[in-house]
Structure 1
Amino acid sequence: MFGILTSAFNVALGFVFRSIIVKFVLFFGLFFITTEFIQVLVSSGLLPTASSLNGVFGGIPAGVWYFLDLFNFSMGFSTGLAAFVARFIIRRIPVIG
């Protein structure tokens, strides 16, 4: 009876160490590398700042803004930009990309 309980405990403990803890450490490492990579890009000046984007979009005439608002450009541009940045970051991760 004691041998069966010990065996079940060893199987459960092996499952915890092989799958749960290893995956947690792996995904935490990927998350940490990704977030630090974003901070490096922001601090190096490779990504545009809000003031530079404001200056660029400030030069667009009112007639063009009408059609941009009609097609909801602000939502589409931010979604597309976020998707391209996410793709860029995922491709730089050695295990996934």
Structure 2
Amino acid sequence: MWGIIASGVNLLLGFLVRSVVAKFFLYFALYFFVTESVSYLQQSGIFPTSASLSNAFGGIGEGVWYFLDLCGFSVGAPLIVSAFVTRFIIRRLPVIG
């Protein structure tokens, strides 16, 4: 009887160690790597800043801005950029993409 109980406990502990604990450390390492790499890329100046983007959009005339505001450019452009960045990051993760 004790052999069956010990076998069941061994099976349960093996499942926990192989699947739950191992995946926890793997996903924590992926999360840590992504957050630290993004903060490093922001500090190194690879990502554009708001000043450079405002200079880039400063050359657009008032007539064009009128139609861009009618089309919801101020809401849609950040959504599209964040969707592309998210897609890029997800495809680079070896477990998910």
TM-score (norm 1): 0.83
Using CA pairs under 8 Å that are at least 6 residues apart, name the structure with larger relative contact order, 1 or 2: 1
Instruction: Describe the superposition over 1:55-89 as per-residue Cα deviations: whole angstroms up to 9, x where unpaired.
Output: 32233222111211121112221112112222333
Question: Which residue number corresponds to residue 71 of structure 2?
Answer: 71
Query: How far did residue 23 of structure 1 move?
Result: 0.7
In structure 2, the partner of 1:59 is 59
What is residue 87 of structure 2 aligned with on the other side? 87
Structure 1: runs of 5 or more not aligned: none
Matching residue's letter, 1:34: V
Aligned length: 97
Code of the residue aligned with 1:56 in structure 2: it is A
Measure how far apart 1:94 and its partner are.
Answer: 4.8
Structure 1 residues 24-39: aligned runs within 5 Å = 24-39=24-39
Give, in whole Å, the separation in 2 of the partners of 1:73 and 1:19: 45
Once superposed, which parts of structure 1, at least 4 consecutive aligned residues long, lie more than 4 Å away? 94-97
Q: Show structure 2 runs of 5+ residues with no match.
A: none
> TM-score with structure 2 length normalisation?
0.83
1:10 & 1:94 partners in 2: Cα distance? 31
- Cα RMSD for the two superposed structures: 1.8
Quote the Cα distance in structure 1 between the aligned partners of 2:12 and 2:18: 10
SS for the counterpart of 1:59 is coil
